[in-house]
Amino acid sequence: MSKIRVVVAGYGNVGRGVIAALKNNPDMECAGIVSRNPDRVKKTVSDLPVMQIADTDAWISALQPDVAILCGGSKDDLPAQGPALCGKVNTVDSFDNHSRIPEYFHAMDAAATASGHVAVISTGWDPGIFSLERVLGNAFLPGSRAYGFYGLGEAGGLSMGHSDALRTIPGVKDARQYTHAIPEAIEKVRRGENPQFAPGDMHTRVCFVVLEDGADPEKIAAAIRTMPGYFAPYQTEVNFVSQEYLDEKCSGFPHDGLVVAAGVTGKGNPATVEYRCQWGSNPEATANVMVAHARAAVRLANEKRSGAFTILDIPASYFSLASKEELLAKFM
Amino acid sequence: MSKIRVVVAGYGNVGRGVIAALKNNPDMECAGIVSRNPDRVKKTVSDLPVMQIADTDAWISALQPDVAILCGGSKDDLPAQGPALCGKVNTVDSFDNHSRIPEYFHAMDAAATASGHVAVISTGWDPGIFSLERVLGNAFLPGSRAYGFYGLGEAGGLSMGHSDALRTIPGVKDARQYTHAIPEAIEKVRRGENPQFAPGDMHTRVCFVVLEDGADPEKIAAAIRTMPGYFAPYQTEVNFVSQEYLDEKCSGFPHDGLVVAAGVTGKGNPATVEYRCQWGSNPEATANVMVAHARAAVRLANEKRSGAFTILDIPASYFSLASKEELLAKFM
């Protein structure tokens, strides 16, 4: 059987993770990389074709992808790139701006339906696996609410978005932000209280900040703690550190999370369902999940399906390399 | 919108759980109960039609079910009942003899396909939710193995099968068996060792046994500990107790479990995914999951699909009462 040919669109942390993940999936191969800046990519990649992402027809013709995995960001890249590309090739992306998912879904659905392609959107672990677990928790325990917590481990979870926000503050040279779940909040949910939480009731934020020469730490700490949306609603700890400390102690991308729903069955028997994931590398986790969705996208396309899909629209068997008989015998 | 009409076939613990669960699902209603012994059921049920299960054409005509939830056992009831019924009505069952699932699937698939019905088999939490989590774990972390553990809480999980096995021993008047996961085994899996386990490496078994008058406790303890398959491979604790103790301390059906898979992403970043459930009532948990699958069965039938399905073949959205737009806006 010929391998599924995957083009990786965008060569950041997630794109590199996708290339690594494809090597662990024997039914797939990387057909090439497309990037806004092929020359930069070619400096580190010599064993794969690298082409200009804007030359869509050229790379589709040259690389013959069954599916393109879009590794761009949700803010600037995907809103334009996604609908343009899924009009020409099957796509998988990790669009993760939760509040804009309905709008993005409909834009992708219109473009993919019109061209007869499959666009699997918003894959990864949240949105993605966590979305699935929220739906299952609610379906199997009607009336329960599913809560998401992040950064349960000692180190917390690195938030790229909040780290970026810190770096926008004048006087901040570099920074990382770790999210920590509040254990008491998790216990409230596990006890079946279905509590109403403000964001600050569930998580705290710990910042490691490198200052520019001459910057005023007190002023910057105040600017961080009062930043609307990002930090103001949370208990926020600000640590000023050296660039060496940041490079040494905060270099990875660890993250982890928990979906938990608690309710009752029958006449009041307690019931709790939880999904927990821990990732040494957040972008590689997203990449692994995207690759399994690329397999599903190709299967859907082979069935002559088209339009936009999320993880909620796809049977689990489509993500798996195992055959129907293997699934029945070994996984059920 | 008219409600989904559900017939409950079999009025044991699971059947009672299904009737209770239907009340928490506003899009469904119980159309009636069918049983091998309607007179017995009528003694406790007065608000629902109760009919003889063998009179299939009569109850299908009278109760007009959209789907029947089969609450019989996997050993004696379902192998004959399942294929016979899914030839006449859409069905959901909880066939849980893992090694015979492929055979049962094909029998159900043949009957349901021939008659144009949908048969969703082997629902519940294991097989069922755990099967789904095993497939997702393996798909998102290729090369990892997903392990199942049961009875992680202090009380352990009540195993009906092992309790029944104890009661077959001459001299045993009544008994309950609690399964306990071995914490060290879970830690091995979490560390990513992907260990090879014998059954006794993962679980221990704790028995509470009421003796018949004059029975020899030492002989019975030996008979338990050497029972092939059920107890011989495990470290087994045998406690002899009074009927009063058993009735008071061991009356519920608590159970819980964990699916855990550990592996690496990229070039060796550790990754762990876990699904954990805790049920005050095991049969009610199964019932809740079956009811969500009944919704899915009707949706599949409405799409003119037919044949046998497992949880692996059904998109998560089919289990949910939420609309497509609600799912995109609130669950993704």
Out of B98, B315, B331, name the one closest to residue A332 (CB).
B98
With contacts defined as CB-CB under 8 Å, which chain A residues touch B269?
252, 279-281, 284
**Contact yes or no for A169/A211 (Cβ under 8 A):** no
**Residue B311, token pair as written in the block:** 């949880």
**Burial status of residue B8 (CB atoms within 10 A of its CB: 0-12, 13-18, 19 or more):** buried
**Which helix (DSSP H) or strand (DSSP E) does residue A157 occupy?**
strand A157-158
Query: Distance (Å, rounded) from C-alpha B179 to C-alpha B266?
Result: 37
Q: Is B114 on the interface with A (CB under 8 A)?
A: no
CA atoms within 13 A on the CB side of A167: 11
**Contact yes or no for B150/B131 (Cβ under 8 A):** no
Chains A and B form CB pairs within 8 A to the count of: 218
Q: Is B280 on the interface with A (CB under 8 A)?
A: yes
Out of A17, A140, A269, name the one closest to residue B281 (CB).
A269
**Burial status of residue B97 (CB atoms within 10 A of its CB: 0-12, 13-18, 19 or more):** middle
Q: Is B1 on the interface with A (CB under 8 A)?
A: no
Q: Is B303 on the interface with A (CB under 8 A)?
A: no
Out of A136, A276, A311, name the one closest to residue B274 (CB).
A276
A185 to chain B, closest Cα gap in Å: 18
Say what the pTM is.
0.95
Give pLDDT, residue A99.
92
Give pLDDT, residue A182.
97
**Residue B110, token pair as written in the block:** 């043949």
A198 to chain B, closest Cα gap in Å: 17
**Would you tell me which residues 90-109 of chain A have a C-beta closer than 8 angstroms to some C-beta of chain B?**
98, 101-102, 105
With contacts defined as CB-CB under 8 Å, which chain B residues touch A275?
133, 273-276
Residue with tokens 């509470």: B208
With contacts defined as CB-CB under 8 Å, which chain B residues touch A281?
265-266, 269, 271
Supply the DSSP symbol for B248.
H
Q: Which of A123, A130, A139, A112 has the alpha carbon at shortest distance from A18?
A: A123
Q: Does B135 sit within 8 Å of A319, measured CB to CB?
A: yes
Give one DSSP letter per residue of B275-302, joined into a string.
EEEEESBHHHHHHHHHHHHHHHHHHHHH
Query: Distance (Å, rounded) from C-alpha B161 to C-alpha B187?
Result: 27
**Residue A127, token pair as written in the block:** 């949105």
**Contact yes or no for A91/A18 (Cβ under 8 A):** no
Query: Distance (Å, rounded) from C-alpha B146 to C-alpha A330?
Result: 11
Q: What is the mean pLDDT of chain B?
A: 96
Give pLDDT, residue A235.
97
Residue of B nearest to A278 (CA): B272
Provide the Cα torsion A48, A17, A136, A307; round to 10°: -30
The residue among A25, A265, A314 with the most chain B CBs within 10 A of its CB, best to mutate, is A265
Q: Is B129 on the interface with A (CB under 8 A)?
A: yes
Q: Which of B158, B11, B5 has the alpha carbon at shortest distance from B72?
A: B11
**Would you tell me which residues 133-152 of chain A have a C-beta closer than 8 angstroms to some C-beta of chain B?**
133-136, 138-143
Residue of B nearest to A143 (CA): B24
Alpha-helix residue ranges (DSSP H) falling in A175-323 = 183-190, 199-202, 217-225, 243-249, 282-302
Give pLDDT, residue A46.
96
Query: Distance (Å, rounded) from C-alpha B270 to C-alpha B276?
Result: 20
A187 to chain B, closest Cα gap in Å: 14
Give one DSSP letter per residue of A66-86, joined into a string.
SEEEE---TTTTHHHHHHHHH
Residue of B nearest to A285 (CA): B265
Q: Is B325 on the interface with A (CB under 8 A)?
A: yes
Taking 50 as the pLDDT cut, the residues of chain A under it are none
Strand order across the beta sheet in which B269-279 lies: A146-150, A255-265, A269-279, B269-279, B255-265, B146-150
At A172, the amino acid letter reads V
With contacts defined as CB-CB under 8 Å, which chain A residues touch B155?
none
The CA–CA distances, whole Å, from B316 to A158, A159, A191, A289, A313 equal: 29, 28, 26, 17, 7
Q: Is A276 on the interface with B (CB under 8 A)?
A: yes
Per the document, the length of chain B is 332
With contacts defined as CB-CB under 8 Å, which chain B residues touch A310?
327-328, 332
Query: Distance (Å, rounded) from C-alpha B85 to C-alpha B91?
Result: 7
Give pLDDT, residue A15.
97
Query: Distance (Å, rounded) from C-alpha B92 to C-alpha B70?
Result: 6
With contacts defined as CB-CB under 8 Å, which chain B residues touch A312?
315-317, 320, 327, 331-332
Q: Does A276 sit within 8 Å of B270, measured CB to CB?
A: no
Give pLDDT, residue B164.
87
With contacts defined as CB-CB under 8 Å, which chain B residues touch A307?
none
> Residue B28, Cβ neighbours under 10 Å: how many?
23
Q: Which of B325, B327, B151 has the alpha carbon at shortest distance from B253?
A: B151
At B25, the amino acid letter reads N
Query: Distance (Å, rounded) from C-alpha A160 to C-alpha A183?
Result: 22
- Strand, coil or helix: A263: strand
Q: Does A279 sit within 8 Å of B265, measured CB to CB?
A: yes
With contacts defined as CB-CB under 8 Å, which chain A residues touch B272?
276-278
The CA–CA distances, whole Å, from B234 to A29, A140, B198, B199, B203 equal: 45, 32, 9, 7, 7
**Would you tell me which residues 14-73 of chain A have a C-beta closer than 8 angstroms to some C-beta of chain B?**
16-17, 20-21, 24-25
Out of A24, A280, A312, name the one closest to residue B327 (CB).
A312
Cα-Cα-Cα-Cα dihedral sign, residues B320, B325, B329, B332: positive
Per-residue pLDDT of chain B (332 residues; tens, 9 = 90+): 799 999 999 999 999 999 999 999 999 999 999 999 999 999 999 999 999 999 999 999 999 999 999 999 888 899 999 999 999 999 999 999 899 999 999 999 999 999 999 999 999 999 999 999 999 999 999 989 999 999 998 889 999 889 989 999 999 999 999 999 999 999 999 999 999 999 899 999 999 999 999 999 999 999 999 999 899 999 999 999 999 999 999 988 999 999 999 999 998 999 999 999 999 999 999 999 999 999 999 999 999 999 999 999 999 999 999 999 999 999 99
Partnered with residue B136 across adjacent β-strands are none
With contacts defined as CB-CB under 8 Å, which chain A residues touch B264?
280
Angle (nearest 5°) at CA B201 between B125 and A279:
60
Q: Does B317 sit within 8 Å of A315, measured CB to CB?
A: no
Give pLDDT, residue B229.
87
Give pLDDT, residue B76.
85
Q: Which residues have C-beta within 8 Å of that of residue A235, sequence separation ≥ 6? A: A200, A204, A205
Out of A136, A278, A295, name the one closest to residue B316 (CB).
A136
Residue of A nearest to B25 (CA): A142
A215 to chain B, closest Cα gap in Å: 36
Residue with tokens 């990513």: B192
CA gyration radius, chain B: 21
Partnered with residue A240 across adjacent β-strands are A209
Q: A59-69 burial, b if ≥16 CB within 10 A, otherwise e? A: bbeebebbbbb
Q: Is A153 on the interface with B (CB under 8 A)?
A: no
Out of B138, B292, B317, name the one closest to residue A312 (CB).
B317
